[in-house]
Amino acid sequence: MLNKILAAYNINQATATVAPFGSGLINNTWLVKNGDHNYILQRINHHIFKQPGLIATNIKNIAGYFASHHTDYFFVTPQTTNNGEEMLYQPGEGYFRLFPFVQKSHTIDVVNTPEQACEAATQFGRFTRLLSNFDINRLQTTLPNFHNLNLRYQQFELALQHGNNQRIKQAAGAIDFLKSQKNIVDTYNHICNNPDFKLRVTHHDTKISNVLFDDQDKGICVIDLDTVMPGYFISDVGDMLRTYLSPVSEEEKDYTKIEIRNEYFKAIASGYLSQMDEELSSAEKNHFVYAGKFLIYMQALRFLTDHLNNDAYYGAKYEGHNFIRANNQIVLLQKLMDKEAELTRLILQ
């Protein structure tokens, strides 16, 4: 299968090596090495991204905007095939893209220092800021309702009605907790109706592995633009808080290791606000900690919903995998809420 794809990009199959790369849950990624040239090959999961062409359109339009307005921004675009296409469709296999591997760049999977958190937050803030005059109406919605918390709550309620009965019984504690925090959904609804909250070009997947670093550990740019869509800043800040504050990830089964680290919170805030301070309204800034609650709560809902739906979306590597992830996110949410007042003071200093 991969041979045909390499051929479409004029890569010599005899000399190239292909190895799985990264740890995403949705798309498949490989590192392709051929002599001095390295590439990242990606298969888009078209059961989830039902119109992969929209992703290509967004990348093309954003690339065009950077090329005419911010020529110094380093922007990684996919290579075209022999036929001049940005994506390669393989019947039965799906859609593939090939990116040049940026020389001397690297990505990291886990945030190890506040400096890395600050660099990443700077890059995500910078991306949105540089595109603040990009016409949001030109941006395609690649995943409708992706961060619509109302819809995520409705999907959770549907799973409670139609999901796996045994799992629903076992998960009673987690279900009750998430229901008890529904005020997080209410706040989201207020945000959607509040003109002080603006829709901007939003990345929607701000994990650390979506930032390219140079050999001095400075951020170069953001990558993985599949979910770039109009959105609220709470999506991007929220996923950074969700994934950088704790020393352990959503996969951790020992919940005592979950922790909210103040110095990482400060690093995210200072990096993001170094770019976005003038863009954000005071109402938005007042919701900086809420952003973390919003995203962690949504992820807990999504993992639990998937567990109740027999792991149809995320899949499971072991029995109860998504239940472990959901409970992990619930503990993270509780620990963030314990520190809400303290962290809010830090942001308003």
Residues that bind ligand GN1 (CB under 6 A): 24-26, 48, 205, 250, 299
Binding mask 218-257 for Mg ion (x = CB under 5 A): ------x---------------------------------
How far apart (Å, rounded) are the C-alpha atoms in residues 201 and 43? 24
Q: Closer CB to ligand GN1, residue 299 or residue 327? A: 299
We find the least distance from the C-beta atom of residue 246 to ligand GN1, in angstroms, to be 13
What is the tally of helices (H) and strands (E) in the chain? 13, 9
**77, 118, 159, 205: which one binds Mg ion (CB under 5 A):** 205
Q: Which residues pair with 222 in a beta bridge?
A: 211
Q: Closer CB to ligand GN1, residue 202 or residue 299? A: 299
CB 227 within 8 A of CB 59: no
Q: Closer CB to ligand GN1, residue 86 or residue 205? A: 205
Token readout for 72 is 């110094």
We find the least distance from the C-beta atom of residue 226 to ligand GN1, in angstroms, to be 7
Return the one option of ligand GN1, Mg ion, none that residue 67 interacts with (CB less than 5 to 8 A, by type). Answer: none
Q: Closer CB to ligand GN1, residue 224 or residue 284? A: 224
Instruction: Give pairs for 185-194: CB < 8 Å, separation 24+.
Output: 185/149, 185/150, 185/153, 187/287, 187/290, 187/294, 188/149, 188/150, 188/294, 189/150, 191/232, 191/234, 191/287, 194/283
Return the one option of ligand GN1, Mg ion, none that residue 119 interacts with (CB less than 5 to 8 A, by type). Answer: none
DSSP state of 194: -
We find the least distance from the C-beta atom of residue 102 to Mg ion, in angstroms, to be 18
We find the least distance from the C-beta atom of residue 40 to ligand GN1, in angstroms, to be 14
We find the least distance from the C-beta atom of residue 298 to ligand GN1, in angstroms, to be 8
Return the one option of Mg ion, ligand GN1, none that residue 25 interacts with (CB less than 5 to 8 A, by type). Answer: ligand GN1
CA angle 64, 67, 69 (to 5 degrees): 100
Q: Closer CB to Mg ion, residue 22 or residue 53? A: 22
We find the least distance from the C-beta atom of residue 29 to Mg ion, in angstroms, to be 10
Q: Which residues pair with 41 in a beta bridge?
A: 30, 98
Sheet containing strand 88-90, edge to edge, reads 17-20, 28-34, 37-44, 94-100, 88-90
Q: Closer CB to ligand GN1, residue 126 or residue 203? A: 203
Pairing of the two strands 94-100 and 37-44: antiparallel
How far apart (Å, rounded) are the C-alpha atoms in residues 25 and 303? 12
We find the least distance from the C-beta atom of residue 62 to Mg ion, in angstroms, to be 16
Q: Closer CB to Mg ion, residue 44 or residue 308? A: 44
DSSP per position, 315-338? --SSTTHHHHHHHHHHHHHHHHHH
Per CB under 5 A, which region of 123-131, 187-195, 199-207, 317-325 contacts Mg ion? 199-207
